[in-house]
């Protein structure tokens, strides 16, 4: 492997001598006559090692060392000095030098010291590369699956990640919409900029405008200081608008303007501000139905639906349940200080039979519980939560008896929805927030369904 070494010394003959000696070992040598010149070389060349004199006019060795450690902290520096005192050597090492050599020096000694420094540099580079690969692996690994339906999702992500197009992610709650949004951001052209996520259903309607666009001090009661909104926080980066279908109509017009003109106006501030934001929206609702029912603006829908990516429910990608479960067991087990070899065949079969109304989020919660209670290296069937083995939720294909069709589809669907909600409430002992999390929907959406279905919740539901 060829390395680039920068020799810094105000004696040209010494620079030439070192260049001649080092170039015999697959080393490309750059030279600089002083510290300032050396910094210019470092800004333009990929240098692996600096060998610098201790005493030089202008910027001397200690000053150059300090500047290198500040600007290029992982770049090793070997200090040369004709004043081979312990004091200079110790001082240079304390200030971050890799090593030092004394003038006049032996060429063999120089070769050994340079070889060690370059090995150190190679290790640091390998570590950086491995960390980058691990980070990328973790991001991609969070999107686990090889089913045909999920491969289509991965293909769509790959197609759109480098663009700035607005994306609309659709699918049931718990299908991993935020995970996909983060993967698009991480592997796109804004990866080094902010990713800001907003759950439109979790913020009270009266505060949503301020949350999105910010406000000036005194704009309303409680506005005791200026606040920067989510659009400005995500400037140059990505803004993820989760559950966009829950956004109030009154605010949708302002969101539309922000998307069309890239201009926002904080509450109580007449001054407009430009923003450069890539928007990814997500919903578990049918927005076209919401448009037809006058619950969602048609112009905003088409502005969001530039590049739609539908996410399949987990029951539509059964072959991905086992690898997802193994992934969660590995990551969650490691966090708990446990190491699992996998799942028993019976456990995998039980998970494959279940229909997972809460999708990936429910599967993750299931595996997390299993990693807590499991005592062996393999997660067994008895380690899984009991509700997996209760009367199984009705499969979509079995909702209709053979040869029959429900007279009222809405009523039939409402009964299925009621059954899921009552089962979740029973399992959570009537704690609505826990029940909502169990079936993978927001608390606000859960409350809406309770009201719609006329379900009264006591403290304990039996």
Structure-token match 């070889």, residue found? 115
My answer on whether 408 and 430 are in the same domain is yes
CATH code, 127? 3.40.50.2300
Query: Is 411 within the bounds of a domain?
Result: yes
My answer on whether 441 and 426 are in the same domain is yes
Query: Is 343 within the bounds of a domain?
Result: yes
My answer on whether 438 and 388 are in the same domain is no
Query: Is 142 within the bounds of a domain?
Result: no
CATH code, 415? 1.10.10.60
My answer on whether 60 and 29 are in the same domain is yes
Domain that holds residue 449: 404-462
Beta strands in 92-220 (DSSP E): 99-102, 167-170, 195-199, 214-215
Tens of pLDDT, residue by residue over 55-110, are 888 888 888 988 898 888 889 999 887 755 656 667 777 778 888 888 877 888 88
My answer on whether 354 and 418 are in the same domain is no
Number of domains in the chain: 4
Residue at which a domain ends, from 83, 108, 132: 132
- Cα-trace Rg, the chain: 31
CATH code, 290? 3.40.50.300
My answer on whether 26 and 127 are in the same domain is yes
Query: Is 143 within the bounds of a domain?
Result: no
Query: Is 102 within the bounds of a domain?
Result: yes
My answer on whether 319 and 308 are in the same domain is no
Tens of pLDDT, residue by residue over 291-300, are 999 999 999 9
* pTM of the predicted model as reported, rounded to 2 decimal places: 0.57
CATH code, 359? 1.10.8.60
pLDDT tens for the chain, 462 residues long, are 678 999 999 888 888 888 888 887 778 899 998 889 999 899 888 899 999 988 888 888 888 988 898 888 889 999 887 755 656 667 777 778 888 888 877 888 888 999 999 988 888 777 666 555 445 444 444 588 888 999 999 999 999 999 999 999 999 999 999 999 999 999 999 999 999 999 998 888 878 888 899 888 888 877 767 788 899 999 999 999 999 999 999 899 999 999 999 999 888 888 888 999 999 999 999 999 999 999 999 999 999 999 999 999 999 999 999 999 999 998 888 877 888 889 999 999 999 989 898 899 999 999 999 999 898 889 999 999 888 887 444 444 444 444 455 556 666 677 777 777 877 777 776 788 878 877 777 777 788 788 778 787 654 333
Query: Is 141 within the bounds of a domain?
Result: no
My answer on whether 52 and 173 are in the same domain is no
Dihedral sign from CA coordinates of 315, 375, 137, 182: positive
Query: Is 105 within the bounds of a domain?
Result: yes
My answer on whether 339 and 206 are in the same domain is no
My answer on whether 83 and 205 are in the same domain is no
My answer on whether 436 and 357 are in the same domain is no
Residue at which a domain ends, from 274, 293, 312: 312
My answer on whether 28 and 75 are in the same domain is yes
Number of other CB atoms surrounding residue 60 within 10 Å? 16
Burial-class residue 369 by CB neighbours within 10 Å (0-12, 13-18, 19+). middle
Burial-class residue 359 by CB neighbours within 10 Å (0-12, 13-18, 19+). buried
Query: Is 439 within the bounds of a domain?
Result: yes
- Residues 173, 283: Cα–Cα separation, whole Å: 8
Contact 362, 385 (CB under 8 A): no
């Amino acid at each position: 492997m060829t390395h680039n070494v920068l020799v810094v010394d105000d004696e040209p003959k010494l620079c030439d001598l070192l260049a001649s000696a080092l170039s015999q070992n697959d080393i490309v040598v750059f030279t600089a006559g002083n510290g300032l010149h050396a910094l210019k070389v470092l800004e333009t060349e990929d240098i692996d090692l600096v060998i610098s004199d201790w005493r030089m006019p202008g910027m001397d060795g200690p000053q150059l060392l300090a500047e290198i450690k500040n600007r290029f902290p992982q770049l090793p520096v070997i200090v040369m000095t004709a004043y081979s005192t312990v004091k200079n050597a110790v001082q240079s090492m304390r200030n971050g030098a890799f090593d030092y050599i004394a003038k006049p020096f032996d060429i063999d000694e120089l070769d050994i010291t340079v070889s060690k420094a370059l090995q150190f540099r190679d290790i640091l580079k390998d570590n950086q590369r491995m960390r980058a690969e691990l980070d990328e692996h973790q991001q991609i690994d969070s999107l686990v699956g090889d089913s045909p339906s999920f491969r289509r999702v991965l293909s769509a992500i790959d197609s759109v990640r480098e663009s700035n197009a607005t994306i609309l992610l659709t699918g049931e709650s718990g299908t991993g919409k935020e995970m996909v949004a983060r993967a698009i951001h991480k592997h796109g052209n804004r990866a080094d900029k902010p990713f800001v996520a907003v759950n439109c259903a979790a913020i009270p309607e009266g505060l949503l405008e301020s949350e999105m666009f910010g406000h000036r001090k005194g704009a309303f009661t409680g506005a005791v200081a200026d606040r920067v909104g989510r659009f400005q926080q995500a400037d140059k980066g990505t803004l993820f608008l989760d559950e966009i279908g829950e956004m109030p109509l009154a605010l949708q017009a302002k969101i539309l303007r922000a998307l069309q003109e890239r201009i926002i106006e904080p509450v109580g501030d007449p001054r407009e501000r430009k923003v450069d934001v890539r928007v990814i929206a997500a919903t578990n609702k049918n927005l076209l139905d919401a448009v037809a029912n006058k619950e969602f603006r048609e112009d905003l829908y088409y502005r969001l639906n530039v590049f739609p990516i539908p996410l399949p429910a987990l029951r539509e990608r059964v072959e991905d349940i086992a690898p997802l479960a193994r992934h969660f067991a590995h990551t969650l087990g490691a966090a708990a200080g446990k190491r699992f070899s996998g799942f028993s065949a019976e456990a995998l079969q039980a998970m494959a039979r279940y229909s997972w109304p809460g999708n990936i989020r429910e599967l993750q919660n299931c595996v997390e519980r299993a990693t807590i209670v499991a005592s062996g290296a393999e997660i067994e069937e008895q380690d899984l939560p009991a509700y997996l083995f209760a009367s199984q939720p009705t499969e979509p294909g079995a909702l209709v008896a053979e040869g029959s069709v429900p007279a009222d589809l809405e009523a039939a669907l409402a009964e299925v929805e009621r059954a899921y909600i009552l089962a979740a409430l029973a399992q959570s002992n009537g704690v609505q927030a826990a029940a909502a999390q169990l079936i993978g929907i927001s608390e606000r959406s859960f409350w809406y369904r309770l009201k719609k279905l006329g379900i009264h919740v006591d403290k304990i539901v039996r």
